[in-house]
Amino acid sequence: MLKFIEDELEGIKREGLHRSLRCVEGHQGARITLDGKECINLCSNNYLGLANNPQLKKAAIEAIQKYGSGSGASRLVCGSLKLHHELENRLAKFKKHEAALVFNSGYVANLGIITALVGPGDIVLSDKLNHASIIDGILLSRAEFKRYPHKDMQALQRFLEGAKDYKRRLIVTDTVFSMDGDIAPLSDIVGLAKKFDAMVMVDEAHATGVFGETSSGIVEHFGLKDEIDIEMGTLSKAVGCFGGYVSGKKKLIEYMINKSRPFIYTTALPPSVLASSLAAIDIIEKEAWLRKTLWSNTWFLKRGLIDLGFDLMGSESQIMPILVGDADKAVKFSRILLEEGIFIQAIRPPTVPRGRSRLRLSVMATHNKEDLKKALKVIEKIGKRIGIIS
Ligand SMILES: Cc1ncc(COP(=O)(O)O)c(C=O)c1O
């Protein structure tokens, strides 16, 4: 009966797309110990290095001592702890919105927000390179689903022109694209949304803590705070913790509490995660030097890689893809780099389109220049050896 599993696994292996788990020992840092070997970590989303910050750890420990390890129930039963409310108020202030609501991960937030907003009879216009959690949320909503080519505003306009008869129109986009590191044309999207009476939802997963005067993200960076209806983010990347959230008007949050099944039917996040997230947001807001250091490291590495001749696919952020093309070659590149002490994951289909396999490199504020210089030297050596650069 389970023969199909073996057959499918064989097929995945034949195509060079097989995946397996590695074991990280110790903490998530600029250097990590992977399967027993220490290496320079260039693939973490812990952009500000907060996942191992002493203040976050202290906050989590104190919360466990005070409130225990679990929340006991879903939010609408008896699991809505004071810490949830504190974190939501803090997030709303940080995001300069009326209110916020926490979900159990970024993935769950996208599922929960989209399925509450749209259903049969509605239409969602989604950038072709949006994150899988957005795609899954749309599929689960059973709304009509149109994917416009990446950042193609003429195509989005054409789709909107043809969408006038739907009950609701929702445009949804990553702000910083997770596998490409480029930025959505948000001002144009907002203009089109106004013209065609559509809602706009943005996913700030990779922008929060990295962009904007107070580090709140791309919406702030573009000065569009009053124009975006629904802002989603995660606590798992630059925030260094775990969980997801939505922010916006009070009525939006009240609506989510009443309509979002992935919010309603699950046990609430535990105290430790909430307390460390609160501590992280304080640090992100107050300690702008962290964001500035991240950007200094980003420019250092980006300039170095471009000078060496690598194609970074138009990266505009701390996420830098190195285009390889062939999946097997990307895996080989990653494997040899790791043998030399540099950890950068290869990203292959179905995460990215066929023929667009790449190394997805990401920078952290806690990298030091010596490690970045060493990484550049090794990437150059291996890139030449396997024919990515000449
Ligand atoms: C753009 C984007 N949205 C949402 C998510 C999901 O967030 P989380 O990892 O917190 O579930 C991710 C992370 O993988 C992401 O890259």
State the closest ligand 1 atom to the C-alpha of 242, by its place in the atom list counted from 1.
Answer: 10
374 has catalytic annotation? no
Ligand 1, pocket-test mutation among 104, 236, 242, most atoms within 8 A of CB: 236
Q: How far is the CA of 216 from the centre of ligand 1 (A)?
A: 16
Cβ(274)–Cβ(84) below 8 Å: yes
Q: How far is the CA of 199 from the centre of ligand 1 (A)?
A: 21
State the closest ligand 1 atom to the C-alpha of 174, by its place in the atom list counted from 1.
Answer: 1
- Atom 9, ligand 1: which residue's CA is nearest? 106
116, amino acid identity: A
DSSP-derived secondary structure for 218-285: HHHHTT-TTT-SEEEEESSSTT-S--EEEEE-HHHHHHHHHH-HHHHTSBPPPHHHHHHHHHHHHHHH
CA-nearest of 143, 93, 157, 73 to 113 is 143
Q: How far is the CA of 56 from the centre of ligand 1 (A)?
A: 21
Given the residues 206, 221, 302, 367, select the one marked as catalytic. Answer: 206
Ligand 1, pocket-test mutation among 133, 150, 242, most atoms within 8 A of CB: 133
DSSP-derived secondary structure for 311-351: --TT--SSEEEEEEESHHHHHHHHHHHHHTTEE--EE-TTT
State the closest ligand 1 atom to the C-alpha of 235, by its place in the atom list counted from 1.
Answer: 10
What whole-number distance in Å separates Cα of residue 358 and Cα of residue 323?
5
Cβ(44)–Cβ(318) below 8 Å: no
74 has catalytic annotation? no
Longest distance between any two alpha carbons in the chain, whole Å: 62
167, amino acid identity: K
**Separate counts of helices (H) and strands (E) for the chain:** 14, 14
Beta-bridged to residue 200, according to DSSP, are 171
**How many C-alpha atoms does 72 have within 13 Å on its Cβ side?**
9
365 token code pair = 């504020």
Ligand 1, pocket-test mutation among 91, 127, 130, 131, most atoms within 8 A of CB: 131
Q: What is the pLDDT along the chain (390 residues), one digit of tens a residue?
A: 789 999 999 999 988 888 889 899 999 999 999 988 999 999 999 999 999 999 999 999 999 999 999 999 999 999 999 999 999 999 999 999 999 999 999 999 999 999 999 999 999 999 999 999 999 999 999 999 999 999 999 999 999 999 999 999 999 999 999 999 999 999 999 999 999 999 999 999 999 999 999 999 999 999 999 999 999 999 999 999 999 999 999 999 999 999 999 999 999 999 999 999 999 999 999 999 999 999 999 999 999 999 999 999 999 999 999 999 999 999 999 999 999 999 999 999 988 999 999 999 999 999 999 999 999 999 999 999 999 999
**Cis status of the peptide bond prior to 350, with omega within 30 of 0:** yes
97 has catalytic annotation? no
List, in order of start, the domains of the chain with CATH numbers: 16-45+288-385 (3.90.1150.10), 54-286 (3.40.640.10)
Q: How far is the CA of 278 from the centre of ligand 1 (A)?
A: 19
Given the residues 141, 178, 236, 272, select the one marked as catalytic. Answer: 178
